[in-house]
Every structure is written in C-alpha cells, then in structure tokens.
Amino acid sequence: MERRNFIKSTCNICLLGTAGFLAAQLPACSPASFPVFKTDVNDKKITIPLRLFDQSPLQIVRPKNMFYDIAVRKKEDNSYSALLLLCTHQQTQLTVTGNGYSCPLHESNFDKNGNVIKGPAETALHHFITSVSNNNLIIQI
C-alpha cells in the first residue's frame, strides 16, 4: 500500500472512531431516550392525547414555533406536570436524565419537579398549567 493511501485510510478510521465516541458522549447527538411528541400550538394551548402516557409516564413535547421542548410527566396520583426545558441560568435547552433535567452548558441540575438541585441556576423551571378534557391533556402556554 502506498504511503498516501495508508495515511488517508488511517485518518478516515480515526475520524469515524472519534465521531462515534463524541456522539455517545454528547446528549444532543445521542438518540432520544424518551418519546418526542411534535404538535402545534392553537389559541395558546397544546393538546396531547392521554394514550401517549400508556407507553411512558414522561413525554417530551416539541411545539412548532417554540424554541424549547416541554417535559410532561404523569404523576403517580394521575395528575400531570408540564415544565419548560429551558435552563433558568442562561437559557439553554435542558436534557432529560434519570432523576430530572440537566443543563449541558454549565451543568445545572433540576429534579423531576423542576426545582434546582445544583447551580449555577438559582430559579426553578417554568411550570405550565395543565387540565384534562376529552381524553386529552391540555397545556396552557
């Protein structure tokens, strides 16, 4: 094998290995571990079918024309909470963790209820009002 071809193929292998490693390390590049429900906002309301919560008690809602996702959780008492996944420190999209939500920028952590566990964020996440109507969850934006 010529030196040039050897270097070219070796560089390609390194690049592929590095890309795979980075994709596994970065939350934004790894596959979503929670369902994402894409929907519209109508009259400042988001409507989500309750049947989605049969699959998972946590749904990530991605409303059109909104920059940040909303985490919607069905609680054990069959009530629902909806949190804007926007870090209150420097307005960064949060990622879902096993215990709540995390900011990839400065590592602020929030619990499942949106309360700050670890700063630099000092303010809890924004909660939306929810209600149930005709087998749908309604989120007031």
**Mean pLDDT of all residues belonging to the chain:** 83
| pLDDT for the residue 99 | 86
| pLDDT for the residue 32 | 47
Query: Model confidence at 4, in pLDDT bands (50, 70, 90)?
Result: low
Give the single-character DSSP code of 64: T
- Does 29 score more than 60 pLDDT? no
SS3 content of the chain, % helix, strand, coil (to 5): 20, 35, 45
Residue range 65-78: mean pLDDT, rounded: 94
**Distance from C-alpha of 39 to C-alpha of 48, rounded to nearest angstrom:** 8
Give the 3-state secondary structure of residue 23.
Answer: helix
What's the order of all strands across the beta sheet hosting 109-111?
Answer: 95-96, 100-102, 109-111, 116-118
| Cβ neighbours of residue 98 closer than 8 Å, sequence gap 6 or more | none
Higher-confidence residue of 84 and 34: namely 84
- Does 55 score more than 70 pLDDT? yes
- The model's pTM is 0.75
Q: What is the CA radius of gyration of the chain?
A: 20
| pLDDT for the residue 133 | 94
- Any idea which of 18-27, 75-84, 102-111 has the lowest mean pLDDT? 18-27
**pLDDT tens column, 121-133:** 999 999 999 999 9
